Amino acid sequence: MSEPLPSLLLIGCGQMGGALLDAWMEKGLAPSVIVDRHRNSLPAPHRVVRSLAEIPADFTPAAIILAVKPQKAMPVIEELAARRPDLASVSVFVSVMAGLTTASMADAVRKNVPAASPAMVRAMPNTPSAIGRGMTGLYAAPDVNDAQKSLCNTLLSSVGATVWVDEEDQINAVTAISGSGPAYVFLFAELLEEAGVKLGLPQDVARLLARKTTSGAGELLDHSSEDAAVLRHNVTSPGGTTAAALAVLRAPENWPSDILEAVTAAFKRARELAS
């Protein structure tokens, strides 16, 4: 049996916080506290509380995971620092929230703990983390030490793959590619299903074909050492059906520009949220 993951204070347990928590619980987690009004109780030794005021005074987590919506984050960080100034110097803060910079979050801590140099990490996971197939990009601010980085890597690698970036702005690109990326794939599955129906297939058949094709191709890509381009090439006979479809998709004015435009829009939005 492997070591349990370190104790956590998870603030916000919705889509993303919940997905991470489910995976962490499955791996085994040291006694942790979850703050969220909607989450049902958890098996002991973990505790769910409804507000920051109810965090036990003697609970000192190794990491504080911030997973509320970005627009709600600043008051949460300020209140936590006011209630538990001791945590600012002992726990590493891990924000999974899009957009918010490490500097702005550290400033929120310092409003109530002026001398603090809190250790701030930004992590951008995605929802396949719920099934251990996540992809997380991470950035550590200068005040984060190697042990804290390693702890964050252990946490996030327990729900999938991890990669560290050197520049904080690159987290916005990670957000645009892998954070938002599952939604692009789901949209593709929806559109494939709709196209199947337009071609005369019953809805349930079109749905099955679209779902299994997107998930199967993703799985094949994950298991292969070949580039995506090679796998694509392998299933494209010259003059065949796949080639006919790809000629449309790969026309410069179609997917190559659409995908770049879409991802750039996500990147810009992530930057806007940060400003």
Ligand X SMILES: NC(=O)c1ccc[n+]([C@@H]2O[C@H](COP(=O)([O-])OP(=O)(O)OC[C@H]3O[C@@H](n4cnc5c(N)ncnc54)[C@H](OP(=O)(O)O)[C@@H]3O)[C@@H](O)[C@H]2O)c1
Contacts with ligand X by CB under 6 A lie at: 11-17, 35-38, 67-70, 72, 76, 96-98, 124-127, 179
Chain centre distance of CA 270? 13
59 touches 91 (CB < 8 A): no
Quick count: other Cβ atoms within 10 Å of Cβ 54? 11
| Nearest approach, Cβ of residue 198 and ligand X (Å) | 29
| Nearest approach, Cβ of residue 219 and ligand X (Å) | 20
51 touches 35 (CB < 8 A): yes
Q: Which is nearer to ligand X, 249 or 265 (CB)?
A: 265
| Nearest approach, Cβ of residue 163 and ligand X (Å) | 15
Q: Which is nearer to ligand X, 140 or 206 (CB)?
A: 140
Q: Which is nearer to ligand X, 5 or 67 (CB)?
A: 67
Helices (H), ranges, the chain: 15-27, 70-83, 87-90, 102-112, 146-157, 170-174, 181-198, 203-223, 228-234, 241-249, 255-274
Give helix 70-83 / helix 102-112 axis angle, nearest 10°. Answer: 30
Q: Which is nearer to ligand X, 39 or 207 (CB)?
A: 39
| Nearest approach, Cβ of residue 24 and ligand X (Å) | 15
| Nearest approach, Cβ of residue 231 and ligand X (Å) | 26
| Cross-strand pairs, 120 | 93
Closest residue to ligand X, judged by C-beta, is 14
Q: Which is nearer to ligand X, 91 or 206 (CB)?
A: 91
First and final C-alpha spacing in the chain: 45
Apex 45 CA angle, 40 and 47, nearest 5: 35
Enter the tokens of residue 221: 């890509």
Q: Which is nearer to ligand X, 55 or 140 (CB)?
A: 55
| Nearest approach, Cβ of residue 83 and ligand X (Å) | 12
Q: How many Å apart are CA 240 and CA 207, to the nearest integer?
A: 24
| Nearest approach, Cβ of residue 201 and ligand X (Å) | 30
Q: Which is nearer to ligand X, 71 or 257 (CB)?
A: 71
Burial (CB count <10 Å: 0-12, 13-18, 19+), residue 177: middle
